[in-house]
């Protein structure tokens, strides 16, 4: 116990040295009792190593804990209050894209003095990003509800996630892996996005996702020939190859059954449906008032969230099919009591979206087809 307290103290001093004079104690907030009880019920400890996974489309961040058997198990799923840009990787400074890929977070990347309550730096650009001459820096997971390339998850949620990371670092974990995906890597999602210009990159990410899903261990990540290369147990690698074949057959079957290829076009990123519902006024539009900002913090570009993403059906050449688009509305089911979410989901899946008649998404300017062409230069 004395050794662990000493490690926690040294970690706090190191963070203060990296980030400047520590002006508050919010980074020392304990893990909430309910989460401690959840860990106990799952046979987990606050000292166990962690791993995180993020999904843009579903607007969720998962925290996993590694057990004594070396395998990770899901602790909690947190809703994202805001992410910006489109599905797809960050490529240049100022593009408002949130990174996609496999990142490493060390104690030095934890920021107790963030302007957004608390934060940690994802480590973008990583080796893969640098291989592709990608630019940008200071891409964070932080509090509040504002994003210009970051993942924002409210002050309460980042306080809890920060505490989970702090305790794991204080117990000897030297770094944790942060896996960032455009969506959950299912055959259904891959079939729907099969003509997206990013599909080759996403299929590469899926190799690492499959390793984790099958082994419940973090994959060894490197870069070879301009792609992510994943290594690990030989039996797992063989199982991944078999899973890839099965998934490819399922994608082909879904396409043959009429699943249309689509492109999701966002006004400027998205947020979890539960936040959108909590912000909705009586007549439907977003009600971003002083009360909402008091609950969630600053909410960036609410006009871009108003309509939800545009689902554009693609032709065989990958271009938009004229007149075939719709706006995905957030589910009409509201959180209990109509309150904003507390930063926790009880299940892994995001509420389903339902198609509604086409409408122009806010914040982007021009029609959805014009914004789509703008993304690809024609």
Number of other CB atoms surrounding residue 5 within 10 Å: 10
CB 355 within 8 A of CB 307: no
Q: Computed over its alpha carbons, how large is the radius of gyration of the chain? A: 21
Question: Nearest to residue 27, comparing CAs of 12, 17, 39, 48?
Answer: 12
Pair of tokens at residue 173: 């974990």
| Active-site amino acid positions | 142, 150
| Burial of 108 from C-beta contacts in 10 A (0-12 / 13-18 / 19+) | middle
User: How far apart (Å, rounded) are the C-alpha atoms in residues 341 and 157?
Assistant: 10
Q: Which residues contact 359 (CB under 8 A, 6 or more apart)?
A: 307, 327
Closest CA to 38 of 50, 49, 46: 46
Q: What is the dihedral of CA 357, 358, 364, 366, to 10 degrees?
A: -140
């Amino acid at each position: 116990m004395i050794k662990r307290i000493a490690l926690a103290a040294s970690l706090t001093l190191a963070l203060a040295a990296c980030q400047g004079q520590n002006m508050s104690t919010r980074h020392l907030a304990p893990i909430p009792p309910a989460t401690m009880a959840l860990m106990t019920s799952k046979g987990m400890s606050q000292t166990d190593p962690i791993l995180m996974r993020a999904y843009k489309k579903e607007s969720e961040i998962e925290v996993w804990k590694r057990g004594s058997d070396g395998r990770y198990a899901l602790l909690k799923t947190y809703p994202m209050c805001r992410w910006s840009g489109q599905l797809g990787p960050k490529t240049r400074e100022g593009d408002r894209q949130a990174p996609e890929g496999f990142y490493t977070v060390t104690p030095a990347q934890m920021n107790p003095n963030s302007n957004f309550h608390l934060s940690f730096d994802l480590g973008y650009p990583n080796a893969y990003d640098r291989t592709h001459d990608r630019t940008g820096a200071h891409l964070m997971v932080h509090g509040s509800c504002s994003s210009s390339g970051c993942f924002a998850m409210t002050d309460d949620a980042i306080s809890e996630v920060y505490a989970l990371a702090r305790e794991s670092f204080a117990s000897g974990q030297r770094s944790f892996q942060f896996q960032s995906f455009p969506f959950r890597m299912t055959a259904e999602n891959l079939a729907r996005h099969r003509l997206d210009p990013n599909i080759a990159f996403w299929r590469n990410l899926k190799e690492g996702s499959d390793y984790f899903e099958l082994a419940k261990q973090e994959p060894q990540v490197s870069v070879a020939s301009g792609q992510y290369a994943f290594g690990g147990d030989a039996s797992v690698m063989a199982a991944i190859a078999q899973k890839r074949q099965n998934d490819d057959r399922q994608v082909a079957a879904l396409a043959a059954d009429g699943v249309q290829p689509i492109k999701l076009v966002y006004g400027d990123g998205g947020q979890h449906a539960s936040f959108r519902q909590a912000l909705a006024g009586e007549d439907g539009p977003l009600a971003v008032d002083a009360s909402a900002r008091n609950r969630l913090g600053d909410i960036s570009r609410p006009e871009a969230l108003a309509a939800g993403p545009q689902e554009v059906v693609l032709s065989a050449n990958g271009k938009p099919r004229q007149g075939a688009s719709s706006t995905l509305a957030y589910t009409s089911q509201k959180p209990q009591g109509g309150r904003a979410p507390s930063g926790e989901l009880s299940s892994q899946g995001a509420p389903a979206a339902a198609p509604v008649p086409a409408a122009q998404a806010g914040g982007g300017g021009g029609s959805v087809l014009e914004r789509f062409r703008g993304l690809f230069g024609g």
